[in-house]
Structure 1
Amino acid sequence: MTTIAYSHMPEGYECPFCRLVSKQKDIVYQNEYVTAFIASKWWPNNKGHVLVVPNRHFENIYELPVEYAAEIHRAAQLTAFAMKSTYGCDGISTRQHNEPAGNQDVWHYHLHVYPRYANDQLYLTKGDQTDPDERSFYAEKLRSWIRENV
């Protein structure tokens, strides 16, 4: 398969996820390929959502090697099981955006994993920055479950 680059990353872009991977405190799962951590922006009825990012910089799905894609979805699945068990959520949604028309706004591939609840209105609300202590609380719940079950 021929790889075609579709880049929209501005020149001189400083990737926030590349900086975060090595310094992130709210990691719930990490291996040589990926890091899953509690997002700093939450939707009001879906607290504790997780971002799964490759440890190497890939802008979007077009650049993402298959071995990274597999590890991203493995981490998302572990996170989903952990959320179901520890949050008591009714379901899970994943979201991933590519290019400006696809609503991508951070130029590093990432997959959102949201806990879902009946009538939570996820797609009708806006996210806000969260308190680091609150993130730590959710991170510890998920980390503990993953440690005990993997």
Structure 2
Amino acid sequence: MCLFCGIINKELEGFFIYEDNNYVAILDKYPISPGHTLVIPKKHFENYLDADDNTLSELAKVVKIVSLGVKDAVKADGLRILTNIGESAGQVIFHLHIHVIPTWEGDYPELFKSFKPRREQSKEYYELLQKIIRESIEKLKRKTGDDKWG
């Protein structure tokens, strides 16, 4: 079974920050930086090049929504948005996913001083980020009145 399909189907644990009929966003289990999030179509595609144009178009909209929420929630100065295609590019899980990776000009905000990159974090870390990012997305949803915000 595909790891992401298991998470999407709620057979495996995942910290969901966004979900609609076709897409989810979950916190990365081994984050590069605080707030590192994965945006994933529910329909299984091995990678970006295997997905149809409609999926990619809608995925881009969800990535923007999630990115705005993540950036606001963790007070990031910037973001890296990327995907890996193939093992040689660093793809580990062969289900299309887009990484949203917050960046800062200096140190992490005080809230994340104990963060250790590329390690599984405490359950409290995931629960806190899940809460603050969801709140940020909800705030943006109210501000725009757009029903695509999950």
Tell me, yes or no, whether TM beats 0.5: yes
User: Unpaired runs of 5+ in structure 2?
Assistant: 108-115, 142-150
The answer to whether the Cα contact below 8 Å between 2:30 and 2:117 also exists between their aligned partners in 1 is: no
2:40 paired with 1:49: no
Q: Offset at 1:141?
A: 0.8
The answer to whether the Cα contact below 8 Å between 1:34 and 1:68 also exists between their aligned partners in 2 is: no
Alignment root-mean-square deviation, CA:
1.8
Helix, strand or coil: the match of 1:20? helix
Measured in 1, the distance between the counterparts of 2:135 and 2:127 equals: 12
Letter of the aligned partner of 1:109 in structure 2?
L
Q: TM-score, normalised by structure 2?
A: 0.79
Q: Which residue of 1 aligns with 2:4?
A: 17
Query: What is the aligned-residue identity percentage?
Result: 21
The answer to whether the Cα contact below 8 Å between 1:82 and 1:145 also exists between their aligned partners in 2 is: yes
Helix, strand or coil: the match of 2:48? coil
Q: Offset at 1:71?
A: 2.3
Q: Aligned match of 2:92 in 98, 105, 108? A: 105
2:119 paired with 1:128: yes
Judge which range, 78-87 or 106-115, deviates more. Answer: 78-87
Q: Which residue of 2 aligns with 1:9?
A: none
Measured in 2, the distance between the counterparts of 1:99 and 1:119 equals: 32
Per-residue CA deviations over 1:113-132 (Å, capped at 9, x if unaligned) read 01101256xxxx95111222
The answer to whether the Cα contact below 8 Å between 1:34 and 1:54 also exists between their aligned partners in 2 is: yes
Measured in 2, the distance between the counterparts of 1:146 and 1:95 equals: 20
After the TM superposition, which segments of 4 or more aligned residues of structure 1 sit over 4 Å from their partners?
Answer: none
Q: Which residue of 2 aligns with 1:61?
A: 48
Q: Aligned match of 2:136 in 123, 130, 145? A: 145
Q: How many pairs are equivalent?
A: 131
Q: Which residue of 1 aligns with 2:77?
A: 90
